Structure 1
């Protein structure tokens, strides 16, 4: 079976593994007898007595473990109840190890289980053991098998309720399984609806529960109404209720709760986040037409229309979830991190690394410290950025470091197991590491293995096609994510296996490496246009694409050998526009052929969701002119557009002026009353619209001369009857386009606001600075 989720049954501490078998059936597999444990470092006799006299104590075993550069004596303490470990680890003053590992993870690590399992056992037919799956198995033997992605059952739902009383009117649903979609609705009294909702989940037994904004709205509402109606919210595969974690996401035994809205934010990053906008963007479909603000009267007079509307919302959320393929991405990450799907979908990135690292640490008798909770975030100097100045450059080749930070870790043997004051490898930040011939680091070894696995998969891809190639591509991408995650957690002060010296060593070595390469290139006569953390742009000096390709391949081979790193020849851009500022450039790709004609833009508003569409589109158009070497055309286009916007020309659609930004909980802002996004969110609430902290809200500025700005919410698909502040928008557009044009020639910038009052400009700049610090 493919492992979907893992947990444990509290009454008898039985491990529960939930999954979908290769024949399509759902499975609960139970393991009896596994017990929780942790370690104490050098406990004294008083501590040992306290532990042995505790009613939770089962056994104690002495073990030598490697910790902070030396071997220490520890006692392995095995106890009865996983939920008592946080209390038991505090009984003694000595250091506790491996005492914060979730119990189901401890089981998976100890048996070295992956995402796809072969289980031998007996079917349990006991009415007292009640699970909703097709099979309930008592595990006799369990082992890993070749990874596979089964067709998982997905249930999407949507709730329509009274805004005034919160009473639920209808729940619509859409269920996907075996390439078929079934839709329907639950109606009746609220009490009946809630009971039938529980039955819908239990009887259909989905692996994934989704919907649009269910984490923040639908699930909390159903939970509240279940309590009001005195009904148990029993939708887990063990019939237990879901639990909300950190007021953000939900965990449920046996199933994955995966909000389509969060997935859209992560994968698509759309300008607007309403269901209607995303459905039109991704599906070319849209919601039914119901006045949600007056839902009470709509339910009274158009009940069937409201039901249809609710079903359509559930259907759209399901199709969006499937379209963006977040489930596929999580399945691949689950395979390479060897974790249940639920832990990948709803866990942090440190969970991925823990899964790989703790298993290997246990095998090598390396101590597993606890994660820090009272931590101070360390800051490291960022990556080195090189730029020679603004201008247009011809036939620019781009060399890209293959997995830059993982390569640094491997090359310099950077690891918590090799950090040693006597080490001969010295990082620029002063950290010292033992050389590989003295002690090979645990993390470098693991990264080397992952890198080889990825290379082998990429080789297999060359001789594969269709679904097999797609599957392999998903796996190699997941390995890349996992490898880069290692640096992310090693640079975080809260992670169990790191300290500030390690993160600083990695970034400082990366800076020195790229700077040395650029210095060598320039000293040998090559013109480096731009360089940052993991790539270098070099003007080839060649006249033809063929000569530039040959030059790029030769250069990448030579540098890779000299530096003992892999620097891949990635692309050619002709021309490349560099602004001269950090990470600001645009270029037209002419190689590889699969990207030919693409315009790549970095560091400008074309990639920011909080810029208005006209701003992004105008910038892209200006770059198109420039990269076609028509600077006069770019200036002429910019002049004309700024003039049209300043005059409020009707040919400019109002939706092109919409600004969007995420809004957190209002209380998290120090100056919420002065913030445009908060003002827009408050007005949405006043209009009866749903707002959940973390949502992106959209608005149009109607008066920028006031402090704070006056803004009006923009609701996709609804008419907008206010007049935008065209002076404000034309100034912003002018500034954006001038940042590009001035990079080419100081004399060609747009100047369409000669009468702008100085104090207006000052107020605008002042507000920009205030917003930045907020």
Structure 2
């Protein structure tokens, strides 16, 4: 840190419990401080920051230039919204955790805001040092404590749970065939695009233009319920308001990826006229929306099906085994989480207009078949005498179901659709508010699970919290 005459030193560094085993170096000039900083980081092949692209690195770079350093002395290259570490790799964790697919699937939506304090509090259970003034006016001891905690949180977000984040980054890079720096700064649509482009080249196939795909796969026939969407999405069964005991939640294992695999859905197979063997794609009302070519396996069906089967049949099962070491169990869990991110995003990107392989007819086919499966499963369950309280996308909430009836409906789904329906959760009780995606579930051990009932947002009044 920089010694300054206009701020107090505070208590001795060694007397601060948060600075135990920390060596604090003090400098009389900012030039010497930056020179020492550059000496230290050059010993590391990877540097981690949190919002370093937009603040830390550009600030250090231009401050160093102003103090007399030459550009050749600085191991950074400043680009638009990105900074390169010329001596190795620079990972900006803010951009990685900001990725919605990473947040929702890899970390199960545990954080809702993307600043360092929110992400660290949610994933590590540790927050930033709270200060009651601006950083400029902190004592030297408090400044050292504040900065060290920020650096510690940034590192811990990469290494917690046996280096979970780092392992995810490496796995994503391998699956998408991308470099680490590019991967951590881009959305999952770019990862998937890169994977599909690589597969086209591996097979010696031309990568089609978006216009070529849209020439035959642009038409959608369903009306979107959500404003701004080009086609109808998932089916949701409205829940009743009230408290219900002994609720069993049935879940379709990777419903959309399984639909893509089973029905051979791909941008080049849906509505392809030059086809011999065609199968109709019907929605929940029985209306024919599209047809799919079954002459040969579609690229999307093969890739998605492969990732889905490896995750569900191998890694997810291994991650739940009790007779393996904790380290191996954690490894399998990381792999299945990484695959979950990819396969759950595959369907969505084909319905996004900015995706190079944009195929709305294919995306509509996926959701239509999903609704077809859910609607018919609900109908069958009710014919068996089961009471379906609530359904959302790929899950059904059943009220006090007999075990033999559960086994019967699971077997029926497997036989009829070749899909895996499994018991996901068993609640002692569930309190439904009457709104979609809004309920409270209590497990037999007393653990409480909240869905949609958020009260910890910044703009929530204290009395509501």
Same structural fold, with TM-score higher than 0.5 when normalized by the shorter chain: yes
**CA–CA separation in structure 2 for the residues paired with 1:214 and 1:600:** 35
**CA–CA separation in structure 1 for the residues paired with 2:194 and 2:289:** 27
Are 1:191 and 2:31 an aligned pair? Answer: yes
**CA–CA separation in structure 1 for the residues paired with 2:205 and 2:377:** 37
- The SS at the match of 1:395 is strand
Structure-1 residue corresponding to 2:269: 418
**CA–CA separation in structure 1 for the residues paired with 2:39 and 2:428:** 61
Tell me which of 384, 387, 400 is aligned to 1:524.
Answer: 384
Change (3 A) 1:182 1:556: farther
Structure-2 residue corresponding to 1:258: 92
**CA–CA separation in structure 2 for the residues paired with 1:276 and 1:506:** 35
**CA–CA separation in structure 1 for the residues paired with 2:73 and 2:362:** 44
**CA–CA separation in structure 1 for the residues paired with 2:440 and 2:240:** 13
Tell me which of 128, 149, 155 is aligned to 1:318.
Answer: 155
Matches within 5 A, 1:156-305: 184-185=24-25, 187-202=27-42, 204-210=43-49, 212-232=50-70, 239-245=75-81, 249-253=82-86, 254-259=88-93, 263=97, 266=103, 268-269=110-111, 273=115, 275=117, 282=124, 287=129, 291-292=133-134, 295=137, 303=140
Structure-2 residue corresponding to 1:364: 203
Question: 1:532 offset after TM fit, Å?
Answer: 1.3
Question: Deviation string for 1:382-415 (max 9, x for gaps)?
Answer: 3111125223323222110111111111122111
**CA–CA separation in structure 2 for the residues paired with 1:312 and 1:160:** 17
Are 1:348 and 2:187 an aligned pair? Answer: yes
Tell me which of 434, 443, 453 is aligned to 1:604.
Answer: 453
**CA–CA separation in structure 1 for the residues paired with 2:433 and 2:173:** 41
Tell me which of 409, 434, 450 is aligned to 2:292.
Answer: 434
- The SS at the match of 2:443 is strand
Question: Deviation string for 1:693-739 (max 9, x for gaps)?
Answer: xxxxxxxxxxxxxxxxxxxxxxxxxxxxxxxxxxxxxxxxxxxxxxx
Structure-2 residue corresponding to 1:562: 416
Structure-2 residue corresponding to 1:14: none
- The SS at the match of 1:389 is coil
Structure-2 residue corresponding to 1:496: 356
Q: Which runs of 5+ in 2 are unaligned?
A: 5-20, 219-227
Structure-2 residue corresponding to 1:166: none
- The SS at the match of 1:559 is helix
Change (3 A) 1:439 1:279: closer
Tell me which of 175, 178, 189 is aligned to 1:339.
Answer: 178
Change (3 A) 1:468 1:613: farther
- The SS at the match of 2:464 is helix
Matches within 5 A, 1:644-663: none
Change (3 A) 1:563 1:270: closer
Question: Deviation string for 1:193-241 (max 9, x for gaps)?
Answer: 3333333222x1231322x5434432232133134235345688xx452
Tell me which of 210, 235, 247 is aligned to 1:396.
Answer: 247
Q: Which runs of 5+ in 1 are unaligned?
A: 1-158, 163-180, 543-547, 591-595, 617-774
**CA–CA separation in structure 1 for the residues paired with 2:116 and 2:387:** 47
**CA–CA separation in structure 2 for the residues paired with 1:183 and 1:458:** 43
**CA–CA separation in structure 2 for the residues paired with 1:559 and 1:305:** 61
Question: 1:259 offset after TM fit, Å?
Answer: 3.6
Structure-2 residue corresponding to 1:699: none
Question: 1:602 offset after TM fit, Å?
Answer: 1.9
Change (3 A) 1:427 1:607: farther
Aligned residues: 415
Q: Using structure 1 for the length normalisation, give the TM-score.
A: 0.48
Matches within 5 A, 1:579-598: 579-590=433-444, 596-598=445-447
Are 1:512 and 2:372 an aligned pair? Answer: yes
Change (3 A) 1:552 1:573: farther
Change (3 A) 1:597 1:332: farther
Change (3 A) 1:363 1:336: closer
Partners of 1:531 and 1:537 within 8 A in 2: yes
Greater Cα radius of gyration, structure 1 or 2: 1
Change (3 A) 1:532 1:286: closer
Partners of 1:427 and 1:509 within 8 A in 2: yes
Partners of 1:413 and 1:433 within 8 A in 2: no
Larger helix proportion of the pair: 2
Partners of 1:413 and 1:434 within 8 A in 2: yes
Larger strand proportion of the pair: 1
Are 1:470 and 2:319 an aligned pair? Answer: no
Ranked by relative contact order (alpha carbons within 8 Å, sequence separation 6 or more), the top structure is: 2
**CA–CA separation in structure 1 for the residues paired with 2:424 and 2:80:** 44
**CA–CA separation in structure 1 for the residues paired with 2:437 and 2:144:** 50
Partners of 2:2 and 2:28 within 8 A in 1: no
Structure-2 residue corresponding to 1:385: 236
Partners of 2:61 and 2:76 within 8 A in 1: no
Change (3 A) 1:484 1:262: closer
**CA–CA separation in structure 2 for the residues paired with 1:501 and 1:537:** 30
Change (3 A) 1:511 1:308: closer
Question: 1:528 offset after TM fit, Å?
Answer: 0.9
Change (3 A) 1:308 1:559: closer
Question: Deviation string for 1:248-275 (max 9, x for gaps)?
Answer: x544453032246974995552679574
Question: 1:521 offset after TM fit, Å?
Answer: 1.8
**CA–CA separation in structure 1 for the residues paired with 2:383 and 2:121:** 54
Structure-1 residue corresponding to 2:225: none
- The SS at the match of 2:431 is strand
Partners of 2:280 and 2:288 within 8 A in 1: no
Partners of 2:58 and 2:83 within 8 A in 1: no
Question: Deviation string for 1:649-686 (max 9, x for gaps)?
Answer: xxxxxxxxxxxxxxxxxxxxxxxxxxxxxxxxxxxxxx
Question: 1:487 offset after TM fit, Å?
Answer: 1.1
- The SS at the match of 2:267 is coil
Change (3 A) 1:382 1:605: same
Change (3 A) 1:518 1:532: same
Question: 1:613 offset after TM fit, Å?
Answer: 5.6
Partners of 2:430 and 2:440 within 8 A in 1: yes
